[in-house]
Amino acid sequence: MITARDIMHSGAQCVDASETLMTAAKMMRDKGVGALPICGPDKKLKGIITDRDIVTRCLAEGKDPSTMTAMELGGHLHCVRAEDDMDTVLKKMEQHQIRRMPVIDDGKLVGMITEKDLADAHKMAKGLSDKQIIEFMDSMFVTH
């Protein structure tokens, strides 16, 4: 059985919940990513913030990214466990229209699964079928 741990990329860096959005934006720029997991002082996953969140929920509303914290934008958290099978992962990503899925083990972030990770896993024949990929793409990108 292929699990989230088999597909995820490890080494995802958290932004601390108390850091400003300016700091989060600079981290995204420096890492070349569009989302960062938010972790508390206990290193447990508390949320996720995207570049779009910063633009639409901070800047566009006239708020100051140098004073607003990451946790203030950390919305409802969806994540998967490292031992979850790929059907569970795909279903959760599809159901909640999530393109970047944090992977946890004992409440702590151990990796992330992105659309690119899914495509790479399929390309390398790591247990994602054509049918799974097509259904995922259809649910995420095709309007019904």
Q: 35-39 and 108-114: which strand pairing?
A: unpaired
Q: What is the CA radius of gyration of the chain?
A: 16
pLDDT(59) > 70: yes
Confidence at residue 144, expressed as pLDDT on a 0 to 100 scale: 54
Tell me: the pLDDT tens digits for 122-142? 888 777 788 888 888 888 877
- What is d(CA 47, CA 130) in angstroms, rounded to the nearest whole number? 31
The amino acid that residue 3 corresponds to is: T
Task: Report pLDDT digits (tens) over 67-124.
Answer: 999 999 886 789 999 999 999 999 999 999 888 999 999 888 999 999 889 988 888 8
- 17 phi/psi in degrees, rounded to 5: -55, -30
CATH code for the domain of 25: 3.10.580.10
DSSP assignment letter at 69: B
**Number of structural domains, the chain?**
1
Best CA proximity match to 127, nearest among 72, 69, 87, 80: 87
Rounded to whole angstroms, what are the CA distances from 13 to 39, 54, 107?
9, 18, 15
Taking residues 5-17, report their average pLDDT. Answer: 91
The residue range of the domain holding 22 is 4-141
CA distance 23 to 13: 13
What's the pLDDT band for 143 if we cut at 50, 70, 90? low
Rounded distance between C-alpha atoms, residue 22 and residue 4, angstroms? 31
For residue 48, give the nearest of 113, 106, 105 by alpha carbon.
113
With contact defined as beta carbons under 8 Å apart, do 83 and 49 qualify?
A: no
Task: For residue 52, give the amino acid letter.
Answer: R
